[in-house]
Amino acid sequence: MTLINNPNRNVPFDYLDIDSSRISEPSTNPENRFDARFFSKEGIAARLILRNLEEDGVEIKHLKDFADEIYWPNRFKRKYVNASVEEGIPFLTPSELFKFPPQETKFIVDPPDDIEIEEGWILITRSGSIGRSLIATRLHTQFAISDDLIRFIPSSDNVSGYIQAFIKTWVGQSLILKNMYGMTVKHIEANHIAEINIPVIPDLFSEINQSMMHAHNIRFDAQEKLLQAEQLLTEKVGLPRLKMPIKDYLYFDDREIEVFIGGEFDHNLRLDASYYRPIVQKALHYMNSHEHKGDGHTSQLRNLSTNFVPGRFKRPYVEDPEIGVPLLQGSHITQIKPQGIKPVWDQWSDIEDYRVKEDWILVTCSGTIGNLSLVSRYSHNWTATNHVLRIVPDTEKIHPGYLTTFLLSTYGQVQFQRLSYGGVVDEIGEAGDLFEDIIVYQPSDETIEKEIGDLAKEAYQERDEANIIEDEAITKLENALEKYL
């Protein structure tokens, strides 16, 4: 076998030479695979590591040896319902599962029993972005979870952390991805996961497991704090809880069309129906009512912060993280642990225009509008794309954590949706200028605002602390594995 990096950059792929016996030999190709991914150099390197480990006396097990069961539920027709009218079960897609915190957008009724999960299970994506995984928390058990996630039910409480760490190493990812199949949308099966080889390194097993579970527990605490902060908007600020969506439907030629009766056009002369959705009117009405009672006051975002979006730019990516600065895409900012972040060159002449600072709020302003995150100490001085609005709170007027909590709540989110426009791709102003019209409610009691704001800040700090601990554990395991390459 010869690994060959492609020296001809005019050919847009790398290639490798392998002995034909590796394709015909059942021990190296038990499924008679002919796709190149199965024989990728990363996959071959991973298998070489496992072989060398075994020759050195390290026990190699299959993933199924650590599980009571590994499965994915059968596909089912999802019966979506209106949350404001019917009692539905909140439903999470894979992308929603990995958000911080998990946030449903749809509700279903009569789901099959086998989509329920329990705390401590490992959930692994099986289609699309394959191989992403997390350990389920008590929060996740409140949802119906998509059948696009493979369920790993651990046979012991003392293995999940180590298994999760190995899956996240490049070795584990190579072993997972080599089995994927499909043209447009890639897939893997539960039996592919079950047969993955896992090295049991005695000196590291317990340490890695404990580190990963410690990170898991911190991350769970962070999510609970962020949800608690939002709950205090109802309990202490007094804003009634709003359910999303509040919709009525008209069915026309088997199509579901949202309909409602609106009032007159306002002074902005917006003609798009979404601008006048009833839930927006309810949100504004509740905030104005509380303001009249003297319990608080409303302000436009323009009066509480400086808001801007940097210009478009050509991204000078680098492969070496030592000379790079992480660049956040819009998809990264809401993830419980950002995946696939690429660094840009740290000597790039315009880099300062794209850096983000602690206590800034980052909001997506193109595509999916209103996804947001508070910048913590960990991501201070990272960079972000021009598709992410920067909100720089005036700390003399509002607590950054409180503003984050409010904008994450239904009261903030419905206003993002109201102000967006566009046919194929939603926008909210070329420079994010429409954000400035968002109405923010603040309580009269500043101690309440501080309590909520501090909880939100702690949540984001803990999220990043957990990710640091997890990364260190995964790197330690990778380093131990690479000694056998």
- Taking alpha carbons only, the member of 216, 219, 67, 215 closest to residue 151 is 67
CB 309 within 8 A of CB 369: no
pLDDT, tens only, 331-372: 999 999 998 899 999 999 999 999 999 999 999 988 788 899
Cis, peptide link before residue 111, omega less than 30° from 0:
no
CA-CA distance, 99 to 227, in Å (whole number)? Answer: 13
- The answer to the question of residue 24 being in a domain is yes
- The answer to the question of residue 375 being in a domain is yes
For residue 29, what are the domain limits? 2-62
Q: What is the token pair recorded at 400?
A: 């950054």
The residues facing 108 across adjacent strands are 80, 89
Coil/strand/helix, residue 200: strand
H or E element in which residue 342 lies:
strand 342-345
H or E element in which residue 467 lies:
helix 446-482
Q: What is the token pair recorded at 482?
A: 């690479």
- Taking alpha carbons only, the member of 333, 299, 329 closest to residue 402 is 299
Among residues 17, 35, 62, the one where a domain terminates is 62
Confidence of residue 178 (pLDDT cuts 50, 70, 90): confident
Q: What is the token pair recorded at 408?
A: 């994450």
Coil/strand/helix, residue 77: coil
The residues facing 392 across adjacent strands are 306
**Ramachandran sector of residue 238 (left: φ over 0; alpha: ψ -120 to 50; beta: rest):** left
CB 170 within 8 A of CB 439: no
- The answer to the question of residue 22 being in a domain is yes
CB 404 within 8 A of CB 238: no
The CATH number of residue 267's host domain is 3.90.220.20
pLDDT, tens only, 95-154: 999 999 888 888 888 888 888 899 999 999 998 889 999 999 999 999 999 999 999 999
Q: Tell me the CA distances in angstroms from 236 to 228, 229, 284, 408, 476, one per residue in order.
A: 11, 10, 18, 17, 45
CB 371 within 8 A of CB 320: no
CA-CA distance, 18 to 347, in Å (whole number)? Answer: 41
Confidence of residue 74 (pLDDT cuts 50, 70, 90): confident
Q: What angle do CA 431, 434, 437 make, to 5 degrees?
A: 140
402: Cα separation from own chain's centroid: 22
Q: What is the pLDDT of residue 84?
A: 55
DSSP 358-409: TT-EEEE-BSSTT-EEE--STTTT-EE-TTEEEEEE-TTT--HHHHHHHHHS
- The answer to the question of residue 460 being in a domain is no
Among residues 17, 39, 62, the one where a domain terminates is 62
Q: Phi/psi at 125 (nearest 5 deg)?
A: -65, 135
Among residues 62, 85, 113, the one where a domain terminates is 62
CA-CA distance, 359 to 367, in Å (whole number)? Answer: 24
- Structural domain count of the chain: 2
- The answer to the question of residue 70 being in a domain is no
Dihedral of CA atoms 24, 29, 31, 37 in degrees, nearest 10, equals: -110
Mean pLDDT calculated for residue range 167-192 = 88
Alpha helices in 56-121 (DSSP H): 94-97
H or E element in which residue 4 lies:
strand 2-4
- The answer to the question of residue 246 being in a domain is yes
**Maximum pairwise Cα distance, the chain:** 80
Mean pLDDT calculated for residue range 392-407 = 97
Coil/strand/helix, residue 321: helix
Q: What is the pLDDT of residue 254?
A: 58
For the chain, the first-to-last Cα distance in angstroms comes to 15
Residue with structure tokens 């605002």?
A: 449
Q: What is the pLDDT of residue 389?
A: 93
Confidence of residue 3 (pLDDT cuts 50, 70, 90): very low
Question: Strand 372-374 vs strand 89-92: parallel, antiparallel, or unpaired?
Answer: unpaired
CA-CA distance, 462 to 222, in Å (whole number)? Answer: 5
- The answer to the question of residue 257 being in a domain is yes
Question: Strand 149-154 vs strand 122-125: parallel, antiparallel, or unpaired?
Answer: antiparallel
pLDDT, tens only, 290-326: 887 878 999 999 999 999 999 888 999 999 999 999 9
- The answer to the question of residue 450 being in a domain is no
